[in-house]
Chains A and B, each alone.
Chain A
Amino acid sequence: MGRRLHVGTFDDAHQLLDAVHACREQGIEIVDVISPFPVHGLDEAMGIRPSRLPWVTLVAGATGLSLGLWFQYWASATNWPIDVGGRPFDSLPAFIVIGFEMTILFAGLATVAALFLRSRLCPWRRLRPGLERTTDDELLLVVRETDARFVPGTHSALLREHGAHAVHEEVEE
């Protein structure tokens, strides 16, 4: 059984933000917002929690640093130690640069990999047609009709009231 979705089309990010606030106040469920550019303040308005990507960066960076330092130590002091004028094999200060580069490399690649995985970005993914203008200049606000507060027409009226120049309905699959 599909529920109805109302899709409001906006031109202006501020009107869209107002509409999002109004929906939240009235307890209307927001399915998603689709926009051609990031709308500032939308995360708070929709109640999206901050991304956990920084943890991925931290862990991957620490892994890169540890691996980089360990490998240099192992290669220079254990696997094939070369005595250069009696200097110590575990010359840590000399290993810092490559340790640092490995930190950045691991952290950067892992952050991007996590972004792609979590946002399900992959080369063979295709979008359904009809959303072409959302990468140009249109912002869409998608809300869902819930049974608890069902008064016919309220959703569309609310979207129009806040500046949506077009509202259409869809049935959720």
Chain B
Amino acid sequence: MSTDSAAVPLITGGKTPADVTRDVCTPLERRPTALWWLGMLIAVTALGIGVASISYQIMVGIGTWGLNRTVGWGFDITNFVFWVGIGHAGTLISAVLLLFRQKWRTSINRSAEAMTIFAVICAALFPLIHMGRPWLAYWVFPYPNPRGPLWVNFRSALLWDVFAISTYFTISLVFWYVGLIPDLATVRDRATGRWRKRIFGTLSLGWSGTARNWSRYETACVLLAALATPLVVSVHSVVSSDFATAVIPGWHATLFPPYFVIGAIFSGFAMVLTLMLVARKVMNFEDYITRKHIEAICKVLVFTGTIVGLAYATEFFMSWYSGSGYERFVFLNRVAGPFSAAFGVMVLCNVITPQLLWFRAVRNNLLVVFIISLMVNLGMWFERFVIIVTSLSRDFLPSSWSGYVPTWIEVGALVGSFGLFFTCFLLFCRFVPAISMFEVKGVLEHKHSEEGA
């Protein structure tokens, strides 16, 4: 089954360290390609739609959304959970795979970490605008205030979320920047223009690459990875506690933390796959992001997708086994109720389609892999929608049941979050080395020794 043998090199094309520097740095030093401008045009347009929608919503109020007395969380929290989940794969690739010394992570970890940071920014946007008065958002932090001081409720899962997300964002950003320093130094040393020299000279903090610096640097990276690994598990566990600590049927389950974490990894790897398949074509990184990398991500997808399927089955089993009529009703209602289409998309995209990745012929067909990755992205968005909206819309009292139809303002905010994500990602590809050069050079070096011996 495995193609991980030494016969297939991680980096193809017989690259030398100088080739790596040139291949990664040249796209940053030339004018952007037409394809980049086209991508930027689409992304900025989507971002503009989002800015317009959210501005209108902030001026007029939350009433511009389709939420009602019964369904208090809709698109907003669905988007929040979706984007946080996307972020998880970046940390997993950069931290967990570093601890497990998986060498294939080297060429994708930089962009996956960037993806994490942008996804967390998109995620944080939604609770912020859901507040209705986002200029008072600092009230969620415990600071000495003239109201007593009245402290925030430390027993609330929503507050845990504030701490989890902000810690996650800070640590991810710092980890990403620390990982960038040696490569920023490379860009600095290649720079010809005065401003470019100055900017990258400042950003690279005078990195010199001496043996002692590398020794300490590698220790720091392993430490950060060891800190980020439990952090990433905690973040989606805490997000799931937002639901699991409520008594709503379909939410109140001890399964939720592992179920959300594995779902997050699943959706995040799907997004990594989507982005990498595009990036290797657009940025000419086909020798760095090889079929072996795609293959490895596909295997992660089929593994995590199967666990997600198991989690769905467990939810259904527990609803029946609990003996609670409300629980049973909620799950039957998911399958056959007004939102059955969303449920169908969720099962099709998350459970059934990824199973195709068991076949090597499917994994080797990049177009099919790309379509599957898009389907998983879609399916995981619908998973969150199903969890949130079906549970809320029909809870204990039939007299308070309600439907939910999103308004154009909510759709616009979702489109805008994708615009924000891709605008940031395209800018990142343009200004920062998108592949970790020093780590790829380290992997090359090992290959040379095997061949030379």
Contact = CB atoms under 8 A, between A and B. Distances in A.
Interface residues of B, number: 65
Given A48-B211, A97-B234, A136 B186 contact: yes
A118 interface: yes
Interface residues on A, range: 35 or more
Interface string A114-129: 1110111111111100
A166 interface: no
Interface in A71-110: 71-72, 75-76, 79-80, 91, 94-95, 97-98, 100-102, 104-105, 107-109
A115 B218 CA distance: 10
B231 interface: yes
Given A101-B167, A112-B220, A121 B206 contact: yes
Contacts of B279: none
Interface string B139-169: 0001000001111001100011001100100
A53 B249 CA distance: 47
A118 B205 CA distance: 13
A12 interface: yes
A25 B61 CA distance: 76
B164 A97 contact: yes
A98 B164 CA distance: 7
A134 interface: yes
Nearest to A57: B223
A16 to B, nearest CB: 10
Contacts of B209: 34-36, 134-135
Interface of A is mostly: helix
Contacts of A98: 154, 159-160, 163
B181 interface: yes
A119 B210 CA distance: 10
A51 B208 contact: no
B212 interface: yes
Contact of B154 (A14, A72, A100): A72
Contacts of B287: none
B296 interface: no
Interface string A59-81: 00100000000011001100110
Given A13-B445, A71-B142, A79-B151, A137 B213 contact: no
Interface stretch (A1-9, A39-47, A143-151, A153-161): A39-47
B217 A136 contact: no
A32 B212 contact: yes
Interface stretch (B4-12, B69-77, B170-178): B170-178
A35 B217 contact: no
Contacts of A120: 206
A80 B224 CA distance: 36
A71 B227 CA distance: 22
Contacts of B16: 137
B220 A111 contact: yes
Interface in B206-241: 206-220, 223-224, 227-228, 230-231, 234, 238, 241
Interface string B239-251: 0010000000000
A51 B171 contact: no
Contacts of B445: 13, 37, 39
A38 B220 CA distance: 13
Contacts of B230: 100, 104
A38 B438 CA distance: 8
B159 A53 contact: no
From A75, A116, A135, name the one whose CB has the most chain B CB atoms within 10 angstroms. A135
Nearest to B203: A123
B341 to A, nearest CB: 36
A12 B155 CA distance: 57
A84 B157 CA distance: 16
Given A32-B210, A115-B217, A76 B227 contact: no
Contact of B171 (A75, A105, A124, A133): A105
Contacts of B181: 121
A76 B149 CA distance: 11
B116 interface: no
Interface string B416-447: 00000000000000000000011101100100
Contact of A137 (B21, B175, B210, B234): B21
B330 to A, nearest CB: 27
Nearest to A43: B215
B182 A109 contact: no
B388 interface: no
Given A75-B154, A105-B167, A135-B209, A38 B224 contact: no
Nearest to B16: A137
A131 B204 CA distance: 15
Contacts of B438: 36-38
B215 A48 contact: yes
Contact of B216 (A42, A53, A107, A126): A53
B174 A109 contact: yes
A98 B441 CA distance: 39
B178 A37 contact: no
12 contacts: A38-B218, A38-B438, A46-B211, A101-B163, A104-B171, A104-B227, A108-B170, A121-B205, A134-B189, A135-B186, A135-B209, A136-B190
Given A100-B230, A134-B209, 8 more contacts: A32-B210, A36-B17, A37-B17, A48-B215, A98-B159, A118-B216, A121-B205, A123-B203
